[in-house]
Amino acid sequence: MEKYFTARPNKLRQSTLIFHRYYTAWIHFAQQDYKAVAALYKDTGVTDGATAQTLLRIATSLRKLGNEPEGLRLLERGSEAHSGDPAMFVALADYYTQMGESAKASAALQKSKTLAVVN
């Protein structure tokens, strides 16, 4: 592993920055600093490697700040990008539950169970 990053210093910097962004977002969310999470998202966006939990934290922060539609779009795009990941649909179901959309939450949860059985 060391040889890989020694030969590719830009990959190491990039990996470090990505880790730092997600760790920082996690800390802000744990402290219920939703403005900081949303600001970090606005400044840096998310990568394809963002986990379901990271997307849910960002979406929840956006919802708490009154931007529920953007949070929903983020999670729906995440579920398209990670269509084989049961955790993504659990996160989407959680968000729908937060919004009071129980039928949509049930459908997303059922999708996650179907994927979990296949995987």
Q: Cα 34 to the chain's mean position, in Å?
A: 14
CATH number of 43's domain: 1.25.40.10
pLDDT score at 34: 77
Query: What is the number of structural domains in the chain?
Result: 1
- Domain limits at 21? 2-118
> pTM of the entire structure?
0.69
pLDDT in tens, 35-81: 887 887 776 677 777 888 888 888 889 989 999 999 999 989 888 88
pLDDT score at 35: 87
> Measured between alpha carbons, how far is 25 from 55 in angstroms, rounded to an integer?
10
Reading phi first (left if > 0) and then psi (alpha if -120 to 50, else beta), residue 92 is in alpha
pLDDT score at 81: 86
